[in-house]
Amino acid sequence: AQSVTQPDIHITVSEGASLELRCNYSYGATPYLFWYVQSPGQGLQLLLKYFSGDTLVQGIKGFEAEFKRSQSSFNLRKPSVHWSDAAEYFCAVVPGGSYIPTFGRGTSLIVHP
């Protein structure tokens, strides 16, 4: 069965600093990969997704993610974090042809002024 690992439960950064959130997956073939953000009491908002093609994916709010097949990773990055980026971030994996994602446990981003 596929699994998704987000090794960091919490990450704290200063406003303006760069950010990288890690995501590793375990699956036989290359799945479809997603990053979502969730603010307190809100639903999930899609930041970006990777289906195929260019392994560096640009998303909303200045986020990007890079798919590395050799490392089974899909890490999320942002060059300069804003206080409004404080939220919970979820990585998700969907096997090809499936409807149902497997979510990582989430990483809570804390931004210090």
Partner 1 sequence: GAVVSQHPSWVICKSGTSVKIECRSLDFQATTMFWYRQFPKQSLMLMATSNEGSKATYEQGVEKDKFLINHASLTLSTLTVTSAHPEDSSFYICSAAQEANEQFFGPGTRLTVL
Q: How far is the CB of 73 from partner 1 (least distance, A)?
A: 18
If the CB atoms of residues 69 and 100 are measured against partner 1, the closer one turns out to be 100
The pair of structure tokens assigned to 104 is 């990582």
Can you tell me the distance from the alpha carbon of 14 to that of 54, in angstroms, rounded to the nearest whole number?
A: 30
The distance of closest approach from Cβ of residue 105 to partner 1 in the complex, given in angstroms and rounded to an integer, is 5
Among 28, 53, 97, 113, binds partner 1 (CB under 8 A): 97
**Where along the sequence are the contacts to partner 1 (CB under 8 A)?**
32, 34, 36, 41-46, 49, 51, 90, 94, 96-101, 103-106, 108
